[in-house]
Amino acid sequence: MKVIVNGRVMEIAENTNLWDLVVSCKVKPEAVVAELNEQVAGRDLWVNIILTEGDRLELVSLVGGG
Amino acid sequence: MEDHLVIGGRELKNRFLIGTGKFGNKQVMREAIVSSGTELVTVALRRIDLEHDNENILAFIPENVTLMINTSGARNAQEAVRIARIAREAGYGNWIKIEVINDSRYLLPDNQETVKATEILAADGFVVLPYMNPDLYAARNLVKAGAAAIMPLGSFIGSNQGLKLKILIDVLIEEIDEVPIIVDAGIGLPSHAADAMETGADAVLVNTAIAVAGDPVRMAIAFSKAIEAGRIAYLAGAGREQRTAAASSPLTGFLYNE
């Protein structure tokens, strides 16, 4: 099943939830903000969000900036 | 006599804002922030790197410091609004620095798109601090649009050139009294910051000059003293510059006969 993560197509298993996907990206969940199909998904909901074909996910975090 | 800086209904005791970009060492960044006494720092929002480890910058920002997300990366008002809303929904607060830039060479802000973004976000309850090219009409429009402060650039971001746009910044300081004026971008030395404060700027934002200094912590301290000195000098009411000399002691009673 294909989803788009940070602009790139990613192949994932059916019934993958958002928490598992984030963890598989080797990032600390507490440092990441997830925007799924242009809506921010609260971290406490990730485990209940099952991804579907064509979902567009942005995983962002704070970085240094002026 | 009390001297307060109020932005968006909130009092800041310190007129020194710091940007967190370009620090090679995050622990040094943290020490610089602490040494500066700043109460407000800017950060940016970016896609995480899916290939490599991502450092968590929040771990290096003292807890008592307010975060202001900037909308860097936004090329138009719509993109700036999106970044702001993501930041707020993610729990990073509602203070937002609008940065709308469509030029990678000079990183000049687009005043028109900045005004549009300010209007939308101010109406949506954000405390909006727009980064702008110092134009009086754009500044007036930003005030009308609901900006909580105005942030004119001193010179190009990261250039350390100082207050190249001083005469236009001075116009804003003179003409805009509804909101604070915070000089942001291009400040390269503590003397530049002092100059801005002596002229009547309400605060300054400094990033590169500290981050790239040989000793960022020391440089943050230098800036802090300069900003305080500049503000006190402004309040003290400096004498005017004049074209010719004016003697310090009387021109009579000299120890000689004519």
Give pLDDT tens digits along chain A (66 positions): 999 999 999 999 999 999 999 998 878 888 899 999 999 999 999 999 999 999 999 999 999 999
pTM comes to: 0.93
Inter-chain CB proximity B45 and A32 less than 8 Å: no
Grade residue B239 by pLDDT with cuts at 50, 70 and 90.
confident
Q: For A6, which of B50, B58, B208 is closest by C-beta distance?
A: B50
| % of residues, chain B, pLDDT over 90 | 90
Closest to B110 (Cα-Cα) out of B99, B118, B97, B121: B99
Say how many CB pairs under 8 Å bridge A and B: 90
- Quote the mean pLDDT of chain B: 95
Question: pLDDT digits over B158-206, tens only?
Answer: 999 999 999 999 999 999 999 999 999 999 999 999 999 999 999 999 9
pLDDT of residue B7: 95
What's the CA gap between B90 and B120, in Å, rounded?
19
Q: For B47, which of A59, A65, A66 is closest by C-beta distance?
A: A59
pLDDT of residue B1: 57
pLDDT of residue B208: 97
Which stretches within B59-165 are classed as H helix?
77-89, 111-123, 136-145
Find the chain A residues whose C-beta atoms sit closer than 8 A to any C-beta of B. Answer: 5-8, 25-28, 30-33, 35, 38, 40, 58-66
Span B52-60, mean pLDDT?
87
The DSSP call for residue A48 is G
| Residue B142 predicted with pLDDT over 90 | yes
Q: How far is B149 from chain A (nearest CA, A)?
A: 16
| Residue B84 predicted with pLDDT over 80 | yes
Q: B23 CB contacts (<8 Å, ≥6 apart)?
A: A64, B29, B32, B211, B216
Assess: ipTM above 0.95: no
Span B212-217, mean pLDDT?
98
Residue B120 neighbours by CB distance under 10 Å: 18
Q: How far is B78 from chain A (nearest CA, A)?
A: 13
